[in-house]
């Protein structure tokens, strides 16, 4: 049985949630305005190695987020107007979800 993605032909990445992302996700679930289905859709696209459409404004973060002691190669995309998802690829086969929330939640 193949584990390849039907659309891309690539094997999906394994997924890891850092501790802070778990907290952010729970907080988002409590907010009436949070569209968790939209967040889950974006996360699944990243897991499946799909290219995010331009409306998600996916880009690498500059600087040394989230730590100041070194570059962590994080990326950011917009789930909604003021709702971000920060993630990184520790290796080619893994995606690590780092943070989610508004600009002020994450960079405040």
Answer yes or no: is 43 within a domain.
Answer: yes
| pLDDT, average across residues 86-94 | 93
- Active-site residues: which are they? 103
How many helices (H) and strands (E) are present in the chain, helices listed first? Answer: 3, 5
Answer yes or no: is 89 within a domain.
Answer: yes
In this prediction, residue 31 carries a pLDDT of 82
pLDDT surpassing 70 at residue 1 = no
Question: Rg of the Cα trace of the chain?
Answer: 14
Nearest-angstrom CA–CA distance, 100 and 77: 10
Answer yes or no: is 4 within a domain.
Answer: no
Answer yes or no: is 23 within a domain.
Answer: yes
Nearest-angstrom CA–CA distance, 24 and 6: 31
Per-residue pLDDT reduced to its tens digit, 48-58: 999 999 999 99
The model carries a pTM of 0.84
In this prediction, residue 65 carries a pLDDT of 65
φ/ψ of 17, rounded to 5, equals -110, 125
The CATH number that applies at residue 25 is: 3.30.2310.20
How many domains does the chain contain in total? 1
The closest alpha carbon to 80, from 51, 108, 105, 49, belongs to 105
Answer yes or no: is 6 within a domain.
Answer: no
> Domain range for residue 66?
14-107
């Amino acid at each position: 049985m193949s584990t390849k993605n039907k659309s891309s032909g690539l094997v999906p990445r394994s997924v890891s949630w850092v501790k802070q992302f778990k907290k952010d996700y729970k907080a988002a679930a409590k907010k009436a305005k949070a569209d968790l289905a939209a967040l889950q859709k974006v996360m699944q696209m990243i897991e499946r190695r799909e290219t995010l459409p331009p409306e998600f404004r996916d880009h690498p973060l500059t600087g040394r987020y989230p730590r100041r002691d070194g570059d962590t190669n994080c990326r950011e995309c917009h789930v909604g107007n003021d709702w971000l998802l920060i993630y990184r690829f520790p290796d080619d086969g893994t995606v690590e979800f780092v943070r989610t929330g508004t600009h002020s939640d994450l960079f405040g």
